[in-house]
A and B are shown apart, each in its own frame.
Chain A
């Protein structure tokens, strides 16, 4: 899911330029409104994953910077800084580590009208829901992204322009949209494919139901289309959520369904039991022809994830999960644990 940059192998220059530009945007906005102070948010986490008997340890920092520029502009960025500790190759004992850094997005937003925002820069590709909504470490219920995530999203990010917004919003329903064009970029920090596409969703507030569809077209190499659909149902005042996605590519397709239930009914969400959140995910992928580049398993695969999250005070959450993956290439277990702290504060005190 994450595009990784090996800091030992690549220079820092471009990412330093990006960070410098971002910091400059913070420094040139000293006269902001009282509520519009730039902020730093994000998550700090420590994760473990045991797959096929091998355990990896992944301390992660994922900062988000948001800086308004006047009344209509906004600069946003999210990065992932990871130190991956993994077992040395067979025949050697102990662990080795490798640092990684990636930029999920670095974008400038122009709030053109009430219903239109123009986005430029590197942004999360708007295909399906997982990539844009559920990838932050302080949001996702499971460490592993769904198996179909790469279908339609490619590297996860696009470099170019996007139009998005709320087409209409009424008490009965609302419709939102996103359409984008991305150029090809082989830069490791801004890795993207030449592609175009978009997403349209309708939300019915009374039923708390969202339905949407996505389209993407790869415009480089062997051009191909991607289609997607999603459904979210989150009945009010129940603590229950159901999220699902389907994606179809030229050589493979698949879906995932995830449910979670916060036990806040038992004494409130701050009670001992109410802090618990069992989660479950079922997913399948189907391959009709080989394609080593689409990111899906080489053979038909089924996977079941069982998880239990615990919401501690002060924005700390513990995630645990067990998954069993079935495939003609072999079955295996995946055990995962993690602890995440979410932070949010202004860059300065403000006026």
Chain B
């Protein structure tokens, strides 16, 4: 199971269309990392407390695995979606 590195970036560059796009991309990256961290948290606090992570599986069944875990581990829908993003970034 991979853990995406967390990072923080700041910029003092004056606003231009290009820098604005860069900021939006950075913001999207931060959001993606945050969402991945959420999935990592859900995995650590629910799945891995009982069993090891599978060493690999087809992306075609990631949704099925997560729905199975939602029932088995009593996950909320939000946690289910965070876990799905973590398993299938």
Contacts and interface: CB of A to CB of B under 8 A. Distances in A.
B68 A66 contact: yes
A34 B60 contact: yes
Given A35-B64, A37-B58, A74-B67, A134 B50 contact: yes
A165 B76 contact: yes
Contacts of A109: 71
Instruction: For chain B, give the interface size range.
Output: 20 to 34
Nearest to B63: A35
B63 A33 contact: yes
Interface residues of A, number: 52
Interface in A100-136: 109, 111, 113-115, 117, 119, 132-134, 136
Interface stretch (A14-22, A44-52, A279-287, A342-350): A342-350
A76 B68 contact: yes
Contacts of A255: none
A300 interface: no
Contacts of A232: 49
For the residues of B in contact with A, the DSSP-based class is: helix
Contacts of A169: 75-76, 78-79
Contact of A311 (B52, B63, B79): B52
Nearest to A169: B76
A314 B55 CA distance: 7
Given A68-B67, A139-B50, A349 B60 contact: yes
Nearest to B65: A39
Given A115-B76, A166-B75, A178-B74, A66 B64 contact: yes
A35 B62 contact: yes
Contacts of B72: 132-133
Contacts of B77: 111, 113-115
Nearest to A73: B67
A144 interface: no
A315 to B, nearest CB: 6
A208 to B, nearest CB: 8
Nearest to A317: B52
B41 interface: yes
A138 to B, nearest CB: 7
Nearest to B60: A350
Nearest to B41: A205
Given A166-B76, A166-B79, A350-B58, A36 B63 contact: yes
Nearest to B66: A35
A35 B41 contact: no
Return the 6 tightest CB-CB contacts between A and B, nearest first: A35-B63, A350-B60, A176-B74, A114-B77, A37-B60, A36-B63
Given A35-B63, A37-B61, A74-B71, 19 more contacts: A67-B64, A74-B67, A76-B68, A76-B71, A109-B71, A111-B77, A117-B74, A133-B72, A136-B51, A165-B74, A203-B45, A210-B49, A234-B49, A313-B55, A314-B55, A345-B58, A346-B58, A350-B58, A351-B60
5 contacts: A114-B76, A176-B73, A205-B41, A234-B49, A349-B60
Interface of B: 41, 44-45, 49-52, 54-55, 57-65, 67-68, 70-79, 84, 88
